[in-house]
Amino acid sequence: MFTRIDHVGIAVHDLEKSISWYETTFGLTVASREVNEEQGVREAMLFVADSPAGGSYVQLLEPTRQDSPVGKFLARNGEGVHHIGYGVDDVENALASIGAQGVRLVDQRPRHGSMGASIAFLHPKDTGGVLTELVQAAKR
Ligand code: MC0
């Protein structure tokens, strides 16, 4: 079902400071920056590697409000890995198949994600404590 790791989402307090650290320390470059008000994040995708199935990224996430998922996560855990995003060919099919196995779906239908992707989250309480995101990348 999964075609690749699309991205690793990392919760940060200060997006610009974290971008600089990833650029300087690992030589990564920013592929996109967006504010997603629905999700309550200001985020940047830093390109890591390409594959026939699509790119892989580090996604740095700063909350735009304290009561958002990333704001609550930071208050509880501090900075760190927030979620894993797996590439899928068809997010609606993947959701139906995973939901049929009894995994709680945070999103019943796909939402708008970074770089034009269609995304949907699975509940971390049903995925071994790892917030899991399905990502159908925009056509390229
Ligand atoms: C919360 N929990 C987590 C977690 N967030 N566990 C592992 N990883 C995480 N990231 C755990 C808490 O510790 C808590 O456990 C329980 O889940 C309930 O958390 P809560 O925050 O008190 O409760 P809810 O229900 O308000 O929220 C949890 C839920 C939410 C997963 C439904 O965070 C959510 O909707 N997340 C999906 C959306 C999202 O994360 N958006 C930001 C990235 P205990 O044991 O204390 O009960 S947006 C993004 O990434 C987009 C832009 C993109 O990729 O393109």
Per-residue model confidence as pLDDT tens for the chain (140 residues): 999 999 999 999 999 999 999 999 999 999 999 999 999 999 999 999 999 999 999 999 999 999 999 999 999 999 999 999 999 999 999 999 999 999 999 999 999 999 999 999 999 999 999 999 999 999 87
Which ligand 1 atom is the nearest neighbour of the CA of 114?
A: 55
- Domain edges within the chain: 4-136
For the domain spanning 4-136, the CATH number is 3.10.180.10
How many angstroms does the Cα of residue 105 sit away from the middle of ligand 1? 12
Residue given tokens 């504010």 in the structure block: 35
DSSP 16-74: HHHHHHHHHHH--EEEEEEEETTTTEEEEEEEEE--TT--EEEEEEEESSTTSHHHHHH
Query: For strand 111-112 and strand 118-122, is the pairing parallel, antiparallel, or unpaired?
Result: antiparallel
The DSSP secondary-structure symbol of 107 reads: -
Q: Whose CA is nearest to atom 16 of ligand 1?
A: 125
